[in-house]
Each structure stands twice: as structure tokens, then as C-alpha cells.
Structure 1
Amino acid sequence: MKRLFLAASLAALTVVNPAYATDIITMSDTERDVFRAEVRAYLMENPEVLLEAIAVLEDRQANEEASNDTTLLLENAGEIYEDGFSYVGGNPDGDITIVEFSDYRCPYCKRAHPEVEELVAADGNIRLIYKEFPILGPESLTTAKFAMATLMVSGPEAYEKVSSGLMDLRGAPSSDALIKLAKANNLDVDAVMGKMDSPEVMQAIQANRALGQRLKISGTPTFIMGEQIIRGYLPLKNMRAIVAEARKE
């Protein structure tokens, strides 16, 4: 906030005397002292100028971030939407694609999961892609490997059930807990558990991590909706609003 305030103060200087904006570097020490005194007096009399300048800077930064995100999405589109290994659900031919980078040990991902499911089910025209993105330690990695192994061994329908089960899991993802979840969903337990540490599973997770780094994703959940990267939890009503806006574009 301090940095933003200083930047806004500099932006406000030109309000005092625009001619100084191009000459300040060439001013003498005496001229700078006079200029600073004028600026201080003006800002003390018109403090609202700083608030206006801060608002302008915030808008400018938001626009720059949005522009940067659009570029990142274009540069990485193939790996985002067609990586060949991530779960794809909802309507495969939907007019809107939502991509979620998720971690089963993340409380906000657990909170978002049923809302994303409700959004996709109620809409009927959304393509949903899940990216396994374990960033919260060894237990996160264990659950991500189990989910990816399920997808590779048993397919998307089994993955969808297991993914929901992992989101609902409250205790540690011990071997016993994972075996119990596999049995509850009629999976080939030995095949899934044996696949968890395979090169294919680890390569998929590492690819997601590398993609997240390129997209400047450092937390979960993170959503890609239309041309936006939305970092953090979103309530269902906000997701619906973004989907509706994306359809207008």
C-alpha cells in the first residue's frame, strides 16, 4: 500500500504543474525544493487528488494484469486445454471451458468443489478441465497421484467419483484410506495403487506444475474462465456471472 501511495503521489505531481513533469530531472536543487513545497501545499489543500490518483493506478494495474493474463493464456493454450492427460468433464462440446487448478488438501478447493459441480450440472453447456496441482506438501502429492492413477487406469467416470471422495476426505490420505476409497468405487485396487508412482503419473503432475509456474499460479483454487485467470475461491454466483459475461464476448 505504501508503494501504491508513493506512486499515486508522483502521479499527482503533474496536477500541480504539468510543465514540471518533463523538467524535474533537469531541475537544480533549489528548484526541486520550491517544487516540493508547491506539491506539499497543493496536496494538503486537495488530499482527494491522491485518492483519485490511487484509483487510476489500481485500474491501470488491473488492466495490465488482465492483458498479461490474456497473453499467457494464448501462449500456453495447447497445454491448458488439450494436454492429453487431464480430466475433461461436463459437456465436451460446451461453448465455455472452465479450467481449475486444484489441490485436495486445500480447504478453499474443498469449498469450491460442490459449487463447481453445481455450476456445470445446472448450466449443461460448460466443458470442465481439472488440473492436478498439489502444492501443499506430501499429502497433496499423494492424493494427486491417486487421482491421476485412477484416471489413467479406470477412466474419467471413476476419476470423477474418486475426486469427489478425495475432496470429502477429512483425515490423512493413508494407504488404508485410499484403498477404502478405491474399493468403495469398485476400482482395481492393485492396478490403481501400483500406478501411483509410475512415470506417466509423475510426468503429468510435473507438467501441471510447470504450466502453473508459467501462468504465474501460486495458489489454489485457480480458475481459467474465458480470457481470465482468477486466482482464489469464487462463490457460485460470481462464477455464474463470469460465465454469462464470457458468453457475450
Structure 2
Amino acid sequence: MTDEAPAPETAPVRPVRFSGALAGYLALGVSVVALGLAAAPYFTGGSGDNVRAYLLEHPEVLQEVSLALQAKEGQARVDETNAAASSNAALLAPDRRDPAFGPADAKVTVIEFFDFRCPGCKAVAPQFRDLMAAHPDVRFVFKDWPILDRGEDVASQYAARAALAAHQQGKYLEVYDALMTERALTVESIDRILAQHGVDMARAKATLVSPETTRHIADIHTTAAALKLQGTPTFFVNGKAAASIDPAEIDRMIEAAKK
């Protein structure tokens, strides 16, 4: 199979979160200005030299302010997403097309928006699967949201389609695990993973290019845009967005929702 399954033209591509370093530099620039303005009145004569000297002697203050700013901005994004979700319950309503595991009438539902090439998604995938084993009474829903493709590189899109094809054959979780483990996803490596896990390749290739699969992924893009999601992975527990990708935080939210 060649890369003939590009993302639908109507599907918006959402930006991923800034890397930790870039976010830190951006926040740091604002932090220096804010800290200087706030601290200046407390130094003799309001001298900028005194402010500079203080910051040079106490660089940890810049890091603290930067981290506080990032936390505040992150919480603002979560609040914005939760406001969007609460104003339109249909955005996170059950979709029979999504791979889902656990009781359909579960008291708690966890939804993950992810990209198979997202480093954060790969890092937390094993622990997320552990959560599924630890909470058999919870419904876990997977929303394949490919956002990392650029130009002719369509590995994220292809992986999402391949996983959905595996789902139609009852092999989603094993293929999900293998795709998350594979460090370099390509069309060839994805096909190899499907074959290794007993997926009928003729049926899979038909699903890969089907209009239904295209519409499914386009709808996930649309939902993510409406929820104002900024990157992957993003987790929801009973319709509330998690402020962290840490599986321990997801576990705490699950336990709280069970009470």
C-alpha cells in the first residue's frame, strides 16, 4: 500500500503543544519582563541595574516564575476545553465507530485523543494500558487523531487508518500496543505490524481507503477543533479534560469519578 490515504482536505490540523524547551523560552521572556516590573519598586531608586543584579544572583526565581506562568496557561487551556465540552455534550457522546473497551453502561468513561507518532502518547501508552487492566469496570475509548503528518509524510494518518482496520477485525489493542512500541512508523512497518498480528491484509487495505474511514477520522478532527484541543495525548474522564498526561493523574480522576 502506498501513501494514498492523505488526511481529508476538510479536516483541520491542530497544532501540537510546544516542546518543553520552547515553551520555557517563551514563558521565560514574559517572566523576565513581568518580574522586573513587579520587583523594580522594591529596589533603591527603582534602578534597573539592581533588578538585573538580583536576578543574576537568584536565577531560580526566573525558573519558578516561568513554571508558574506555564501552569497558569495550561490550566487556562484546560478550562477552555472543559467549557467547550460542557456546552456541547454531543462532542464526547459515544460513537460506535470508535474502538472502545469496558462495559457500555460503565459509570466512568475515559477518552484518549492521540497520535501514534506522538512521543508523549508513546511514553504513557504502557501505563494507560495498565489502567485498563486495573479498572475493568471503566469504559476506555480511543480516538485516533493523526496530527503530526507534514507534506508527503502520512505515517500518522496511515497508522490511524490501519488501527481502525484492525479494530474491524477484532485486533485493535494488540495492534495499538505494537504501533505505540514501534519507534519509526512508516507505511512498511505499519503493514508489517498488521500482518504480524493476524490482520487480513486484503480486508484491511479496503478499510484503509474507504470513505467511511475517511469520514470517521475527519469527524475526530472536527471534534478536537470544537473542543479546542492543543495537542496529544489529551484525556477526558467523564467529560472532563485532564490537566496532565500522567497516568497517575488519570487514575486519580477515575477513582474520584467512581465515588
Which of 234, 244, 255 lines up with 1:244 in the alignment?
255
Of all paired residues, the percent bearing the same amino acid is 24
Aligned length: 211
Within-5 A mapping of 1:85-164: 85-137=97-149, 138-151=154-167, 153-154=168-169, 157-164=170-177
Once the 2 structures are TM-superposed, how far is the Cα of residue 148 of structure 1 from its aligned partner?
1.7
Please say if 1:184 is aligned against 2:200: no
Which of these two proteins has the greater Rg computed from alpha carbons? 1
TM-score, normalising length: structure 2: 0.67
TM-score, normalising length: structure 1: 0.70
**1:149–1:196: 8 Å Cα contact kept in structure 2?**
yes
Distance in 2 between residues matched to 1:82 and 1:202, nearest whole Å:
19
Once the 2 structures are TM-superposed, how far is the Cα of residue 181 of structure 1 from its aligned partner?
2.2
**2:195–2:201: 8 Å Cα contact kept in structure 1?**
yes
Please say if 1:165 is aligned against 2:181: no
Shift in alpha-carbon separation, 1:208–1:59, aligned structure 2, 3 A = closer
Question: Hey, what does 2:15 align to over in structure 1?
Answer: none
**1:90–1:126: 8 Å Cα contact kept in structure 2?**
yes
Shift in alpha-carbon separation, 1:184–1:242, aligned structure 2, 3 A = same
Quick one: higher RCO (CA 8 Å, sep 6+), 1 or 2? 2
Q: Give ranges in structure 2 of 5+ residues lacking alignment.
A: 1-26, 45-67
Which consecutive aligned stretches of 4+ in structure 1 deviate over 4 angstroms post-superposition?
A: 1-10, 56-67
Distance in 1 between residues matched to 2:193 and 2:71, nearest whole Å:
47
Match of 2:139, SS? strand
Distance in 2 between residues matched to 1:128 and 1:214, nearest whole Å:
21
**2:155–2:186: 8 Å Cα contact kept in structure 1?**
yes
Question: Hey, what does 2:240 align to over in structure 1?
Answer: 228
**2:242–2:250: 8 Å Cα contact kept in structure 1?**
no
**1:102–1:109: 8 Å Cα contact kept in structure 2?**
yes
Once the 2 structures are TM-superposed, how far is the Cα of residue 58 of structure 1 from its aligned partner?
9.4
Shift in alpha-carbon separation, 1:44–1:76, aligned structure 2, 3 A = same
Distance in 2 between residues matched to 1:183 and 1:59, nearest whole Å:
43
Distance in 2 between residues matched to 1:98 and 1:162, nearest whole Å:
20
Distance in 1 between residues matched to 2:126 and 2:159, nearest whole Å:
18
Match of 1:170, SS? coil
Letter in 1 for 2:186: P
Shift in alpha-carbon separation, 1:142–1:118, aligned structure 2, 3 A = same
Please say if 1:216 is aligned against 2:228: yes
Distance in 1 between residues matched to 2:69 and 2:240, nearest whole Å:
20
**2:116–2:180: 8 Å Cα contact kept in structure 1?**
yes
**1:110–1:167: 8 Å Cα contact kept in structure 2?**
yes
